Homo-oligomer: A and B are copies of this chain.
């Protein structure tokens, strides 16, 4: 954090620049997790996010998946194409609105989820283990305040 005020035009010190530090940390963490399930299931991060949200909310449409994952609909469409092809997600057409799809995890989709979810949680635990209880509490609070929008 900027302790003293540097003149605004002074060279940016990236290693103390909050957005940069967040980016480095976030990428390292997400990539470590993604590497894990990519190797085991050839599953991209966007695909995993789609599966995760369908695990919680069965029967969503593609648009609703996009809203919940904060991904754009093109990304979701492509992820779904692969997931349906792989047999991990089922897609039906909504009664009474033939545009809408009705999505859900298949049996094997659930099986994948039951392997990947613990992997993800394990990485999260490793990360949080670097903090003590007090720090974890503050982190939760700080993230709540910084979080841009929190869509359900």
Residues of B within 8 A of A55 (CB): 11-12
**Distance between Cα atoms of A141 and B135 in the complex (Å):** 9
Contact flags (1/0) for A113-132 with B, using CB distance below 8 Å? 11001101101100110110
* Residue numbers in B under 8 Å from A27 (CB-CB): 26
In the complex, whether A139 has a CB less than 8 A from a CB of chain B is yes
Q: What is the total number of residues of chain A having a CB less than 8 Å from a CB of chain B? A: 60
* Of B114, B127, B148, the contact of A25 (CB 8 Å cutoff): B148
Q: Mark A76-101, 1 if CB is under 8 A from B, else 0.
A: 00000000000000000000000000
**Interface residue A69 (Cβ < 8 Å from any Cβ of B):** yes
Shortest CB-to-CB span from A8 to chain B, Å, is 4
**Lowest 6 CB-CB distances: which A-B pairs, in order?**
A11-B55, A26-B26, A8-B118, A138-B138, A11-B56, A22-B26
Q: Can you give 18 contacting A-B residue pairs, CB < 8 Å?
A: A1-B140, A2-B124, A9-B114, A10-B117, A12-B55, A14-B49, A14-B53, A19-B29, A19-B30, A19-B33, A21-B147, A22-B143, A23-B26, A127-B146, A130-B145, A131-B146, A135-B138, A135-B141
